[in-house]
Amino acid sequence: MLMKNQGLPAPLAQYFQGIADIATEAVADKWPGPGPAPEVFDDLQTPKSASWAGIAVHPMAVLETAYIRLVQQAEAEAGSDTDKAREAAFQALSKFFILESTEPAPLGVATAPLIGEATKDLLAAFKFTQVQADGQQKGAYDLLVQIVQSAAELVARMTSAESLAFATDGVRSAAAYLGLYDFPPPDVGAHWARAHPNQSAAQTQALVDEVRERLIEPLTEPSVAAASPRSLYNIGPFYLYRLMHRFLGGAEGAPMTLSAKGIASGAATGALHRPDWLWLTEWHEDRVVWLDTKLGELNDALMAEFGIAQDVLRFHLKGGRAMYVALGAPEKGGNDWDTGVLINPTLSPEYWYAAFRKVNDLILEFLDQARFGYTQLLGAHAGQLAAPRIAPQATDDLAFDDLTDPDEHSEYTRMALLSGNLAPEALEMSGTGSGALAQSRVRPSGVNGELIDIGISTRSSVELLEHWRSVRVEKGHGVVLDGIPIPTLPYFVDDFSTIIREAIANKTVDRKLAKRLRRLRLVLLSDKTSITQAIAHRRAAVAKALPKAAATLDLAKQDLRSAALAWGLEALLASTKVSYTTDLWVAAFDDYIVAHAAALLDPQTIAEMWRVIGPEIPEGEERDQCELLFLIQNATSTLAHRILADRAALSKAVGAPDAPEAPLWQGICTALQAIFALNHVGAGTGEFYATSGLAAEIQRGHAGVDAPDPAVLSAGGAGEVFYRAGRVPVDQALRELAQRLQATLTGKPFDVTVTEAQAQLTVVVRTTERLPGIKIGPEDVVVLIVRDEGKGADAAHVLDSVDGFVTASVRDLARLFADRAADSEDYDLRIRRKTAYRFLLDDVLGRQIAQIRG
């Protein structure tokens, strides 16, 4: 089956069929069988959005949350395979919600309709005018003039005077009939009326027929653009907006697997971005700069509207293209243009969603017009489209990115592929609770030739908090244009390190890591100020906190090895400071690194994994340096897991209400009872409450939920209690509490002291027993701290009384873990806190809500 873009000029239609052929060949090269490989063919370009619509559950039915538990259960049963878990979640959600696929629509009430909707409105108005003219009703002619004027304004949104000659046939035909750009768009209706005076009802009827043939029909052809905008609101961590050219793969009864779809999409995307077509690169750069300008203007307007002095929005290019711009080699960038929008996570929900609404509408308008701009761009260069493949000899003169892997996909691409693959199944399953229908039919799959992606991190995502705090945006020089918004180079070190560490942690190391290691090497070896200063800062921080390790590892040496080691160690230090860390622990950590340095950096620890990665990197210095970087990443991961194992051992020793047999629980419980008894001394005196991992364990036990990993809540380290000041000042309350605890714990294996750091008092409770399983740390391990709650994200909004303990609410605890995850520079510590955040929200809070209905 071959579906053609009938509304596109022949050179464009042939060009896209050539791209489809390239994708078909890519699939065939890797098709495992059985049977022939599925083909890829061109498709019509239509705007689409995907979002979940409540059917079985009304959005305001706040107690109807059983579906959350069922979705989580389906995810858990899918095991550790992330993609299978998401597929299971889609199937479970489909029993309650419909995955709608409609045309994109602005959220703002006063926002003008998009071009597709405006075209439908124009057609509806014309049909009404036809009825009026057929009945010889008064006013039919005036309605016709209004339609002509509306059509002129619509065409002006699709094209410009400069690009009209390269628009599709229908748009050019309509513009010619209107005399558009011979006259300004606002004057076209009046000009047309002068040229077509109203003389009689019969004349009006004839004009209606003329307008239908020469204006309405050309504007409503099946395809008037060479690209389609897509808006995906059904991806959990982010909203994804995309300008792409859509192809189809497979056919009825000949399915295209998700893997084949990914190969086809990667091949099509790569072919759509020829590096030697500078006019194509310039257009994309211009679109990115235009969007940056408009979002900057919107940011200023929102700051004024909200009455705040801090940014509301940030926007930047992402991926390999952004990295190469930051390195000063933009010509090496390849494939589609990934971008990201961050909306300030510290805004109130009301302000955040008000900002999202306006950003959403701005992006929809941007994509709506960009699809026509892309069409006219190709039309202007139609003579070059006959050969979509870049000739092998042409690459010899290009400094093109040799690190591009067509089989590797960005997070945007991977999530969109999965979303698109599941959409037909979810649509068929919605409301039925059965997959039989979905299994019985096979339809062609969408294959995406990606042009521009724009992601907006959702308000509840840890990634939004993390990136808002850590990403710094600057302007770089692109291949053609200045003013490309990009993250500074330290962002890429953290980004690549996260990908590498994730593969190590999940035991999914494969050849694709070679690309990340090569890029990490490029960034760390760069002489750009942003990265050299960041490395110097980290060397100094590690030398100050871990002087023995710094000397043993020779971190003062200005080379790649010391830069990578300093980066990883500083991330560990910064991540442990998220919770309470004593100077004694840091000193013990210093000693531990020195004692284990040789083992940590033994190449044999990565030998098996390196056999998979190494052959993908050219032999010589580059491969040796990449192996060193991978060794350091693995060593840092080993240290992080040691820290987490120690904290799990501490958590096990401390215990919880549902684990009273733990060796320290009786003493900790006695201390907590003594602390919370002070809450009843007098009204307004102040209030103590448990928080962090200790409170999470209390709430978990009360809800009757077992953590998937017993250590999931232990990443917070020592148990924490906060004091919310009342009439009794903080310093007085904490000093009096220390005296009370010293008396209460007399004769027990605990020591109570008061420390002061940065003008903040902290009551510290240590155990004098040596705890089994803890490898890093002094003899007296901190088990409990009490301090002022402060005014930051740690402070609870709501307190619960749970089994005799006062704790932060589950929602507040989830927020605290999310905040600390975002502040964790180290991957493993961040992911453990992020897992705790999801566990508290999905399992503990979800169980509590479900129990309300019984």
Q: Which residues contact 625 (CB under 8 A, 6 or more apart)?
A: 521, 560
What does the CA dihedral 354, 342, 830, 672 come to, rounded to 10 degrees? -30
The pLDDT score that the predictor gives to residue 94 is 81
Which of the four pLDDT bands, split at 50, 70 and 90, describes residue 72?
confident
Q: 402 in the Ramachandran plot: left (φ > 0), alpha (ψ -120 to 50) or beta?
A: alpha
Q: Which of 30-44, 249-263, 467-481 has the highest mean pLDDT?
A: 467-481
pLDDT score for 137:
80
Banded pLDDT at 1 (limits 50, 70, 90): very low
Considering the chain, what is the average pLDDT of its residues? Answer: 88
Residue 307's pLDDT band (cuts 50, 70, 90): very high
pLDDT at 93: 82
- Residues 158 and 372 sit within 8 Å (Cβ to Cβ): yes
Phi first, then psi, for residue 35 (nearest 5°) are: 80, 180
How far apart, in whole angstroms, are the C-alpha atoms of residue 656 and residue 718? 13
Of the pLDDT bands very low, low, confident and very high (cuts 50, 70, 90), residue 528 is very high
Query: For position 579, what pLDDT does the model report?
Result: 64
Q: Are strands 48-54 and 781-788 parallel, antiparallel or unpaired?
A: unpaired
Cβ–Cβ under 8 Å, residues 170 and 158: no
Cα–Cα distances (Å) from 763 to 217, 581, 663, 833, in that order, read 78, 13, 22, 24
pLDDT tens figures, 319-372: 999 999 999 999 999 888 999 999 999 999 999 999 999 999 999 999 999 999
**Strand partners of residue 448:** 246
- Domain edges within the chain: 10-56+95-104+226-487, 115-219, 509-641, 655-853
Between these two residues, 434 and 1, which has the higher pLDDT value? 1
Phi then psi for 540, rounded to 5 degrees?
-65, -40
pLDDT tier for residue 851 given thresholds of 50, 70 and 90: low
Q: Phi and psi dihedrals of 763, rounded to 5?
A: -85, 125
What backbone torsions phi and psi does residue 681 show, to the nearest 5 degrees?
-65, -40
Question: In this model, does residue 538 exceed pLDDT 80?
Answer: yes
- Convert the pLDDT of each residue in 374-393 to its tens digit: 999 999 999 999 877 765 44
- Per-residue pLDDT at 51: 86
Q: CA-to-CA distance for 788 and 169, rounded, in angstroms? A: 70
* Whole-number Å distance between alpha carbons of 818 and 812: 10
Instruction: With a cut of 70, say whether residue 413 has pLDDT above it.
Output: no
The pLDDT of residue 710 is 67
What would the pLDDT profile of 179-189 be if each residue is shown by its tens digit?
A: 999 989 999 99
**Per-residue pLDDT reduced to its tens digit, 501-519:** 999 999 999 998 999 999 9
Q: How far apart are CA 41 and CA 48, in angstroms?
A: 19
253: left (phi over 0), alpha (psi -120 to 50) or beta: left
- What angle separates helix 560-576 from helix 621-654, to the nearest 10 degrees? 20
Q: What is the pLDDT of residue 712?
A: 80
What confidence score (pLDDT) does residue 92 get? Answer: 82
- Cα separation, 529 vs 527, in Å, equals 6
Question: Helix, strand or coil for residue 683?
Answer: coil
Cα–Cα distance for residue pair 177/180, rounded to 1 Å:
8
